[in-house]
Structures are given as structure tokens and as C-alpha cells.
Amino acid sequence: MTSVEPDIESEALLEIAANDAYQAIIEEEEDVDEANSSQDEDVIWLREQIENNKAISWINRPSVYILGLVICIFMIAFASTIGVKQIILFKLACNTVANSKGYCDPIETQVLVSSYEMYSMVGGTLVSLIPVAKAGELSDIYGRKPFFIAMFVSATTSHLCSYLIFHHYNTFPFKLLLERNGFLQYVEE
């Protein structure tokens, strides 16, 4: 059985390699600084980060492994809801196109769900272009953590809103679902 936790030895080796690379940059810069007494801002920042990271315990230290683990768990949880959401969408669409005898035409149901998916994808993509353009710039100022937290919170809110809509309607609320998708796509990005 494979462990989900990262191998501490490989993480330690990775940290040693990063420290060696930082030291090489610092030593090279010190040689140049002897001739030209000004220091590069990046080297100063790297030195500060090395010292700050040495003071932090290994569990709280910034790590690609921890970030990858959190994103992986979130994506698995998100992916596990896709099938159920599709079943609910088809059921609501079937209720919408059903005739007076309760017969649901599969072609009309598929057309309704496909139309919703098409408008949802196009609208969500267009709406998300605005915040994506600013996210990189703002994450350089405020850091990555607030953006990851905002993404997780907005995705959870999106699923909660979907649940509430699905729970309160017996037919396919096409316009309401598109509005929810557009708004939350904007907030999510």
C-alpha cells in the first residue's frame, strides 16, 4: 500500500539541493560584489528566505509536495461529483420536456442538457477571462495562499448553490443555472 505522505528523505534531499543552488548563487554574487559593492535584490531575498525557512518546522515549510497533495485531494473530491451532477441535470431536463402522460423524449432531453452545457462552458470561459488576467499580478502582491483559499471556497460555494437549486426545482432551471455558473465562474477565478 502506497503512502500519501511525501517521502521525508526525498524532500530533505530536494531541500539540500535547493540550498546548494542558493549557496552557489550567493557565493557567485559575493565574488562579483567584491568588485562591484552593490548586491542584487534577488540574492538578498533568497538569503532571507533561506533563513526564514530554516526557522520553520518541516510540516509548515513551503513544499511542492504539500501543495500537490492538497490540490490532488481537492480535484478528486471535485471529480467525484461530476457524475451525480450529470444524472441530476438529465432528470430535471426529463421532467421539463415530459409530456402530459409523463413520457420523456430522450432526444429533447439531450438537446436541453447539451444546450445548457454549451452555454455554460462558453459563458463561463468568457466571464473568467477578466479575473484570470489580474490573478497573476495580484498573486505577486498578496501571495498565492489567498487565491488558493478563494478558489476552494468559491468551488465549494458553487457546489452548494447547485445543490440548493437542484433541491428546490423539479424542472430544469436553465436560466438560473447559467446565472449561477457565470457569477461563480467569475468569483472562482
Tens of pLDDT along 102-120?
Answer: 888 899 999 999 998 898 8
Got the DSSP string for 140-185? HHH-SHHHHHHHHHHHHHHHHHHHHHHHH-SS--HHHHHHHHHHHH
Got the DSSP string for 106-145? HHHHHHHHHHHHHHHHHHHHHHHHHHHHHHHHHHHHH-SH
**pLDDT > 90 in the chain, percent:** 6
Contact 105, 97 (CB under 8 A): yes
pLDDT at 30: 64
Could you tell me which of 171, 1, 173, 14 has the C-alpha nearest to residue 94?
171
Contact 155, 189 (CB under 8 A): no
Tens of pLDDT along 173-187?
Answer: 888 887 777 655 555
Residue 150's pLDDT band (cuts 50, 70, 90): confident
Element (H, E) at 6: none
> What is the pTM (predicted TM-score) of this model?
0.59
Got the DSSP string for 37-99? -PPPHHHHHHHHHHHHHHHS-TTTS--HHHHHHHHHHHHHHHHTTHHHHHHHHHHHHHHHH--
Residues 6+ apart with CB under 8 A from 138: 147
Tens of pLDDT along 25-43?
Answer: 777 766 655 545 446 777 7
